[in-house]
Amino acid sequence: MIKMTELTKKFAGRDFLTLQDFTPDDLGLFIAAARELKARQKAGTPHPLLAGKTLAMIFTKSSTRTRVAFEVGIHQLGGAGLFLSERDIQLGRGESIADTARVLSRMTDGVMIRTFSHAEVEELARYATVPVINGLTDYLHPTQALADLMTIEEHKGRLAGLKLAYIGDGNNVAHSWLIGCSKMGLDISLACPAAYEPAAEILQAARANAAASGGRVSVGREPLEAARDADVLYTDVWAGMGQEEETSKRQAAFKGFCLDAAALAAAQPDAIVLHCLPAHKGEEITAEVFEGPQSVVFDEAENRLHAHKAIMALLMG
């Protein structure tokens, strides 16, 4: 059993904006804390580590898993979550991010934000005096990646030395996967259509991480080549929130980039399948694979709760 109080001393007051800000050992401690909190919750053992504390939750993008994980999570930790949409706060009517950050810092113990612009999250963190958690931007999705790493470790017993294949858009999830895999010593192979590759600076950072961790990073155009001998197969929707007007264009560009039976056959026989959800079955993943015995998608979804609780407990404790 890990000592949560010791971890809280190590991480208290820090922001969680990108996995790049943490060492591999740090990320391993977050995962260990998440697994500990999951075990306590499953055993029915109360763990009010944030009793009396409040998390402000800013949402300018709609959400299912992120909102439920943080709101239920802070409740299970003994605190309270305050949902704030653009319609609920003055941020949506012209109040500056800096002023919002300073006001919320006087009244709450932490801020989670799910929005479009990563620069807004960075500005919020710059002015806030309480921990800021990046619940998703168009650039990164670090809380998702942490839960995914936890899920892989649960099912495979380790992280370093495994291969993850990512098929689809080089988007915010792909960016956080590049950072997460390269930090933790996994090989990551992406198959993306032309013009939909990850950002160059993310690839540069991932390759530098991999050089230190022993992992490998590759990006190509062939889904089956990416999937070859993979231990983990991953995909995401072709058109995310805010990209709805690009749906037809993206459907044409991503034709053939589907996580299907052929991709599964190219992977290791015991490969697991992940998807951050929501899923468009028949587009980026077939229903057969999504609902198949190698899919751990709903274990992954549940682990959002436990991973997010670990982030809150360690930063806000």
Query: Is 144 known to be catalytic?
Result: yes
Give burial (CB, 10 Å; 0-12/13-18/19+) of 132. Answer: buried
Which residue in 236, 258, 275, 306 is the catalytic one? 236
Which residue in 40, 118, 141, 308 is the catalytic one? 141
Query: Is 158 known to be catalytic?
Result: no
Query: Do the Cβ atoms of 274 and 233 come closer than 8 Å?
Result: yes
pLDDT lower than 70: segments of the chain: 1, 92
Which residue in 40, 65, 304, 306 is the catalytic one? 304
Which residue in 181, 192, 258, 276 is the catalytic one? 276
Exposure class string for 221-252: b at 16+ Cβ within 10 A, else e: eebbebbeebbbbbbbbbbbeeeeeeeeebee
Query: Is 276 known to be catalytic?
Result: yes
Give the number of other Cβ atoms within 10 Å of residue 16's Cβ.
25
Query: Is 114 known to be catalytic?
Result: yes
Which residue in 40, 47, 114, 306 is the catalytic one? 114
Task: Set out the domains of the chain in order of their start, with CATH numbers.
Answer: 4-140+304-316 (3.40.50.1370), 142-300 (3.40.50.1370)
Exposure class string for 180-213: b at 16+ Cβ within 10 A, else e: bbbbbbbbbbbbbbeebbbeeebbebbeebbeeb
Q: Is the pTM of this model over 0.85?
A: yes
Which residue in 76, 109, 144, 308 is the catalytic one? 144
SS (H, E, C) the chain: CCCHHHHHHHHCCCCECCHHHCCHHHHHHHHHHHHHHHHHHHHCCCCCCCCCCEEEEEECCCCCHHHHHHHHHHHHCCCEEEEEECCCCHHHHCCCHHHHHHHHHHHCCEEEEECCCHHHHHHHHHHCCCCEEEEECCCCCHHHHHHHHHHHHHHHCCCCCCEEEEECCCCHHHHHHHHHHHHHCCEEEEECCCCCCCCHHHHHHHHHHHHHHCCCEEEECCHHHHHCCCCEEEECCCCCCCCHHHHHHHHHHCCCCCECHHHHHHCCCCCEEEECCCCCECCCECHHHHCCCCECHHHHHHHHHHHHHHHHHHHHC
